[in-house]
Amino acid sequence: MMPPFHLAFPVIDLPKTREFYEGLILCRVGRTSDRWIDFDFFGHQVTAHLVTEMPKVITNAVDGKSVPSSHFGAVLNWEAWHHLRDRIQDSAVFLIEPYIRFQGLPGEQATMFITDPSGNGLEFKAFKNPKMLFAVE
């Protein structure tokens, strides 16, 4: 079993952040204060920290799309990714609509980018063949 990672990220509205991660993404809420919230993000601890303003978003071009260079997310299994996509389709703000990359190739993967209420980018992906996660080619 891989050890869980910890990630802290800025947000400008804790109640909306809690509603998004707990209600839409279905993350269990851990410890909280008036300045931060811990979430169980697919077995990992992510902590939303209240800030007065968000940092500027810088993007990179990937597949002709503007991908936020600072983002986080989860690699799901193929079925769970499609289930999440279907569940959030009408509620999420998509930076990049769900699509399949490298279709028919060894690294075939489903991916989508959404934003939380503070504009943080989240990527959810799934590999057709999970062994390709770290494969070079």
Give the bridge partners for 122, in sequence order.
72, 114
Contact criterion met (CB below 8 Å) for 13 and 117: yes
CB-based contacts of 41: which residues, under 8 Å, 6+ apart? 7, 21, 25, 27, 74
**Residues spanned by CATH 3.10.180.10 within the chain?**
6-50, 71-132
- Model pTM? 0.93
Report residue 55's pLDDT band, with 50, 70 and 90 as the boundaries. very high
Q: Residue 3 burial by CB count (10 A; 0-12/13-18/19+): exposed, middle or buried?
A: exposed
Q: What is the mean pLDDT of residues 96-120?
A: 95
Residue recorded with tokens 């260079």: 69
Q: Considering all CA atoms of the chain, what is the largest pairwise distance in Å, rounded to the nearest integer? A: 48
Amino acid at the residue 67: V
Average pLDDT, the chain: 95
CATH number of 71-132: 3.10.180.10
Q: Which two tokens stand for residue 50?
A: 């209240």
pLDDT of residue 106: 87
**Residue scoring higher pLDDT (135 or 22):** 22
Task: Look at domain 6-50 and name its CATH class.
Answer: alpha beta
CA nearest 65: which of 123, 106, 119, 24?
A: 123
Instruction: Give 40: exposed, middle or buried? Use CB within 10 Å, 0-12, 13-18, 19+.
Output: middle
| Average pLDDT score over residue span 77-88 | 97
